[in-house]
């Protein structure tokens, strides 16, 4: 029985083109007690592989977090399968706003300690005592309230290209860091302010809201389903959109455009630009913002050093990398001394 992905990304991309079918990109998460994540993982892999699902899914004792794509015409079968799993029955699926048939090219279902790397010791607080969930309409009202402090729970490279008007966007590389910064900043207002938070799909706020309540914040709210669900509701209910720019997403699309505002800058020339790229030097792979003309001048690299390495023949590059460890992660933090405008 096949339990792991066998095709390369290139082979998969060719198959998708050949099939010529539209694919849906979607995400979901659920905190639930899973007794044996490995068995559950294998079950998901076998079933979803047969439905031509691709994506990145994390399974842990605390639940499941999935970002995936599947052929649109198999959606009902997929949904039927989800409904056979008690804690996934009728779960909200966040369907991507911009579709791309190649958002994912492999099916990876991984067992992890946690479904989000939150750095928290969950035994120290009650994770089920979470904040009040609000939909788009209530959220829009709440964030206009002068008693409200709106906080972006994502990392710096996410909020940089898009965030809600007037949101606090901590300059952090990890979720754990932002918790401390926010707690510190808002210490005097634990009782008199509304702490309203949001993230991409809601999963991070689920923990953060429980954490802040544990820390003594009295009025804690979270945006239900995150930016993805907010955008859907805004469209469907014809509400005012208060999100500026792009929503960073964790698949090959990198981001979804929510409003036409460009709130970020090219990290090399400083011109307005809000599309991330990865440094072409495989040993670097830094995630950063690079406009089209800098991309051309810099050969898609983050620095002249990387440019020089990237020009070497593949074998020579490999030789250089020996013993360096692989930093081939497309979400490597976008920070580097060589980027002038970061
Ligand atoms: Zn530029
Ligand atoms: Zn580089």
Write out pLDDT tens, residues 98-155: 788 888 999 999 999 999 888 888 889 888 899 999 999 999 999 999 999 999 999 9
Residue 333's pLDDT band (cuts 50, 70, 90): low
Which residue among the candidates 199, 279, 301, 302 is catalytic per the annotation?
A: 199
Given this model, what pLDDT does residue 324 score? 65
| CB contact at 8 A, 197 and 151 | yes
CB neighbours (10 Å) of residue 179?
22
For residue 337, name the pLDDT band (cuts at 50, 70, 90).
confident
Give the pLDDT score at 329: 47
Question: Which ligand has the nearest atom to the CA of 288?
Answer: 2
Cα 157-159-264 angle, rounded to 5 deg: 80
Q: Which of the pair, 325 or 334, is modelled with greater confidence?
A: 334
* Angstrom distance (rounded) from CA 109 to CA 40: 10
Question: How many angstroms is it from 200 CA to the middle of ligand 1?
Answer: 27
92-101, 246-255, 298-307, 309-318: least confidently modelled range = 92-101
Residue 61: predicted pLDDT: 94
Cβ pair 255, 249 in contact under 8 A = yes
With a cut of 60, say whether residue 244 has pLDDT above it.
yes
Active site residue 279: no
pLDDT per residue as tens digits for the range 180-211: 999 999 999 999 999 999 999 999 999 999 99
Comparing 84 with 328, the larger pLDDT belongs to 84
For the record, the structure tokens of 310 come out as 């990237």
pLDDT of residue 328: 44
pLDDT at 330: 43
The predicted pLDDT at position 325 comes to 57
- CA 335 to CA 288: how far, in whole Å? 8
Band the pLDDT of 218: cuts 50, 70, 90: very high
pLDDT tens across 268-309, in order? 999 999 999 999 998 888 999 999 999 999 999 999 999 999
Q: Is residue 254 within 8 Å of 276, Cβ to Cβ?
A: yes
pLDDT in tens, 48-78: 999 999 999 999 999 999 999 999 999 999 9
Q: Is the pLDDT of residue 227 over 70?
A: yes
Four-residue CA torsion sign, 276, 246, 199, 5? negative
Task: Measure 316 CA to ligand 2 centroid, in angstroms.
Answer: 17
Binned at pLDDT 50, 70 and 90, residue 237 comes out as: very high
The ligand placed nearest to the CA atom of residue 302 is 2
What is the pLDDT, as a whole number, of residue 331? 46
Return the ligand number nearest the Cα of 309: 2
**How far does the centroid of ligand 1 lie from the alpha carbon of residue 289, in Å?**
8
**What is the spatial order of strands in the sheet that 132-134 belongs to?**
132-134, 219-223, 194-198, 148-152
Under the banding of pLDDT at 50, 70 and 90, the label for residue 317 is confident
| CA 284–ligand 1 middle distance (angstroms) | 19
Distance between Cα 277 and ligand 1 center (Å): 12
**What is the per-residue pLDDT for 341?**
82
Distance 263 CA to ligand 2 centre (A): 23
Residue 331 structure tokens: 């979400």
pLDDT mean across residues, the chain: 92
Q: What residues have a C-beta under 5 A from ligand 2, the ion? A: 279, 281, 284, 286, 302, 306
Distance CA 144, CA 173 (A): 28
Higher-scoring residue by pLDDT: 47, 317: 47
Phi and psi (nearest 5°) for 75?
-60, -45
Angle of the 37-50 helix axis to the 75-83 helix axis, nearest 10: 160
What's the CA-to-centroid distance between 118 and ligand 2, angstroms? Answer: 27
Ligand nearest to the CA of 284: 2
Can you give the pLDDT at residue 323? 67
Number of helical H runs and strand E runs in the chain? 11, 14
Mean pLDDT of 331-337: 65
Q: How far apart are CA 328 and CA 305, in angstroms?
A: 17
Query: What is the phi/psi pair of residue 246, to 5°?
Result: -110, 145
**How much is the pLDDT for 298?**
97
């Amino acid at each position: 029985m096949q339990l792991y992905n066998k095709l390369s990304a290139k082979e998969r991309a060719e198959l998708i083109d050949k099939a010529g079918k539209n694919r849906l990109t979607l995400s979901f998460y659920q905190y639930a007690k899973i007794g044996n994540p490995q068995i559950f993982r294998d079950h998901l892999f076998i079933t979803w592989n047969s439905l031509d699902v691709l994506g990145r899914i994390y399974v842990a004792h605390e639940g499941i977090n999935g970002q995936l794509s599947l052929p649109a015409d198999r959606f009902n079968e997929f949904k039927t399968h989800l409904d056979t799993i008690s804690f996934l029955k009728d779960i909200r699926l966040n369907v991507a706003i911009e579709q791309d048939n190649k958002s994912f090219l492999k099916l990876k279902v991984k067992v992890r300690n946690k479904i989000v790397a939150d750095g928290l010791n969950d035994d120290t607080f009650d994770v089920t005592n979470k904040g009040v969930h609000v939909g788009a309409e209530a959220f829009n009202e709440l964030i206009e309230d002068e008693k409200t402090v709106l906080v972006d729970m994502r990392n710096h490279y996410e909020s940089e290209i898009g965030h809600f008007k007037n949101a606090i966007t901590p300059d952090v590389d990890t979720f754990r860091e932002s918790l401390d910064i926010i707690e510190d900043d808002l210490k005097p207002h634990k009782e008199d302010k509304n702490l309203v938070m949001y993230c991409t799909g809601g999963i991070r706020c689920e923990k953060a809201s429980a954490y802040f309540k544990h820390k003594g914040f009295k009025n804690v709210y979270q945006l239900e389903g995150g930016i993805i669900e907010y955008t859907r509701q805004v469209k469907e209910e014809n509400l005012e959109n208060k999100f500026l720019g792009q929503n960073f997403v964790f698949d090959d699309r990198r981001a979804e455009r929510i409003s036409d505002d460009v709130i970020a800058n090219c990290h090399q020339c400083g011109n307005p630009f809000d599309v991330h790229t990865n440094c072409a030097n495989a040993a670097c792979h830094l995630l950063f913002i690079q406009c089209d003309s800098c991309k051309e001048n810099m050969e898609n690299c983050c620095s002249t050093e990387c440019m020089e390495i990237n020009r070497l023949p593949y074998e020579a590059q490999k030789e250089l990398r020996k013993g360096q460890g692989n930093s081939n992660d497309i979400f490597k933090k976008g920070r580097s001394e060589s980027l002038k405008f970061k």
